[in-house]
Structures are given as C-alpha cells and as structure tokens.
Amino acid sequence: MKRVRVIGVGPGDPDQVTIEAVTALREVAYFVVTDKSGRGGMPDPLVNARERLLDRHLERAPVIVRVDDPERERRPDRTATQDEYDAAVARWHEERRAAYEEALLSHDGDAGFLVWGDPAFYDSTIRILQSLQARGRLDLQLDVVPGISSIQLLAARHRIVLHEVGQALHVTSGRRLHEALAQGQDNIVVMLNRVIELDGLEEWSIWWGANLGTASEALVAGRVGDVLPAIDEARDRVRAAAGWVMDIFLLRREA
Ligand SMILES: C[S@@+](CC[C@H](N)C(=O)[O-])C[C@H]1O[C@@H](n2cnc3c(N)ncnc32)[C@H](O)[C@@H]1O
C-alpha cells in the first residue's frame, strides 16, 4: 500500500496554508511536482512558488520529484468545440497519469502532491490519481488535505460575501461564462480566464483579483463598464511584474 497525499497549499501566500497541510507536508517522503518549464526553457513560476512554500514550512530539504507537464493542445482551431476540448484534456490527463505512475513506482514512502489553492476546484490531481488507482498497477491509498482556494481569497481581499443573503453562487470557467449567462445566472465566480470578454455586461458589478496572495497581487472592483480598462491595464502590469497572471472575478447583476 502506497499512501498518496493530495495537499491543498493555498493560492500563493505561504501563510495561507493550514496547520493540517503543514503537518502533511512534514510527513511525506517526497513531493511530485509537475513542471511546465520544459516548454521553451522558461522557469515554471509555480514550481518556484511551491519551492518557497516548502522552504518556509519544512525543517529539512524536501525531496522533489519533477514531472514534466505534458504539452496540452490549446490551439483555438483544435479546441473550438466542447468535444475537441474534452478530447484534448483527456489526452493530457492520460499522459499525466503515466508520468505520475512512473514517479510513484520509482520512489518509496508516502508521496505528496502539492495542489494550488484547494484540490476540489479546477484541478485534476484527484481525478488522475483515482484513475491510476483504478488501473490497479499500484495499490494507492488517497488522502486529501483541503486548502484555501483563490475563490475564498478573492472574497477576503474585497471584504465581501460572494452571494446575497440566502442566494446562489455559480462557479464557472471563462470558457463557459456565456453558458452561465444564457442560463440566467446572475452571481458568478469566473476562473481560468484566457481573455476577459464582458460585452453586454457593462451594468453588472465586478470584483476582480489577480495573483492574489503574491507580491504582484492586484484588485479592481466597480461597475463593469467603468472598470474594464483598469482590469486590462492591471492584468498587463501583473504579467509584466511576475511573468505570469492568474485572475479570478465575481460578476453580479445588480437588482
Ligand atoms: C487550475 S485553476 C486552480 C484553482 C485552485 N485549485 C483554487 O482552488 O484556487 C487556476 C485558476 O484559479 C484561479 N487562481 C488560482 N490562484 C490564483 C491567485 N493566486 N490569484 C487569482 N486567481 C487565482 C485563476 O482563475 C486560475 O486561472
């Protein structure tokens, strides 16, 4: 039996890691870390962020097993339909699964997978490890440690509740925002934004945040029609400062 711990490590600030997560970080024998730096020789900023986090919370040098992140098909003309997009993600997961299997087979002791934010939101580590478990080559015991999500940090930074009293909250990706609007959703958290297109939503309110919990954090809030240029400008500024940008926002149609 091999114990595999999927550990949510928050959205960037090493202070935003729970005590349960720190205990888990200290207990595992090694960390499996996916590394995107193989693509074009650029260092992967999230690998560096994870290293800083381990440096902060471990009392010994961590054993890091780097796994090259397989190239994922992202060309718009190859991922335009939902079927094409799903097939591209399925291929990518299959390659990641093979890489994880190799890493786990070649190392002894409990393994830790550091997951950005919380493992339950837009992250496939649990799914991929479960499919590895189902294949049966490895006898895995999965254990999930929750983390603070970028969703929570967005709310905390703007000092808001994400929904009105007793009302619903819809969470989706930038790619699926138009579907949420067509369904009539009027209180929506949007993640995984390649571009931000809010045409027709000028009267809505937006609470936007980028690189939350890091030195390049940026926040903008207001009426969409008023603040979109400020968001575009802040996005460019954050990308220039950090070399990467991850942003998330709450959109609400005001009564
Ligand atoms: C692959 S998803 C992972 C989400 C993560 N599991 C969580 O709980 O926050 C990545 C997306 O989460 C959001 N995100 C993650 N970290 C962020 C941060 N520090 N600041 C702003 N958005 C962030 C962005 O929308 C980004 O595109």
Predicted pLDDT at 40: 55
What is the CATH classification number for the domain harbouring 200?
A: 3.30.950.10
pLDDT of residue 113: 96
Atom of ligand 1 nearest to the CA of 148: 8
Q: Give the number of domains in the chain.
A: 2
Cα pseudo-dihedral 196, 13, 149, 131, rounded to 10: 100
CATH number of the domain enclosing 69? 3.40.1010.10
- Domain boundary pick from 145, 172, 206: 145
* Confidence at 37, pLDDT banded by 50, 70, 90: low
Helix (H) or strand (E) holding 207: strand 205-210
- Asked whether residue 124 falls in the same domain as residue 175, the answer is no
Residue 61 has pLDDT above 80, yes or no: yes
Please tell me the predicted confidence (pLDDT) of residue 179.
Answer: 96
Question: Taking a C-beta distance cutoff of 8 angstroms, is the pair 33, 96 a contact?
Answer: no
Same domain, 205 and 92: no
Laid out side by side, the sheet with 111-115 consists of 64-68, 30-35, 111-115, 2-8, 140-145
**pTM for the full model?**
0.92
The C-alpha angle with vertex 197 and arms to 194 and 198, in degrees rounded to 5, equals 145
pLDDT of res. 69: 78
Ligand 1 atom closest to the CA of 214, numbered from 1: 19
My answer on whether 126 and 183 are in the same domain is no
What b/e readout covers 181-199, taking b as 16+ CB neighbours within 10 angstroms? beeebbbbbbbebeebebe
The confidence score (pLDDT) of residue 88 equals 81
Q: 226 and 197, same structural domain?
A: yes
Residue 161 and residue 131 share a domain: no
The more confidently predicted of residues 25 and 67 is 25
Q: What are phi and psi of 84, to 5 degrees?
A: -65, -40
- Residue where a domain stops, chosen among 119, 145, 171: 145
Distance from the alpha carbon of residue 121 to the mean position of ligand 1, in angstroms: 8
The per-residue pLDDT for range 75-131, each reduced to its tens digit, is: 777 777 878 888 887 888 888 999 999 999 999 999 999 999 999 999 999 999 999
Spell out the alpha helix ranges (H) of the chain: 19-27, 45-57, 82-105, 125-135, 150-158, 177-183, 224-242
Ligand 1, residues at Cβ distance < 6 Å: 11-12, 116-118, 121-123, 149-150, 191-193, 209-213, 246-248
188 neighbors 224 (Cβ within 8 angstroms): no
Ligand 1 pocket test target in 231, 235, 248 with most atoms within 8 Å of CB: 248
Residues 129, 32 within the same domain: yes
- Rounded to whole angstroms, what are the CA distances from 198 to 110, 226, 255? 45, 12, 18
Give residue 80's domain range. 2-145
User: Given pLDDT bands bounded at 50, 70 and 90, which one contains residue 157?
Assistant: very high
Final residue before a domain boundary, out of 109, 126, 145: 145
pLDDT in tens, 222-250: 999 999 999 999 999 999 999 899 999 99
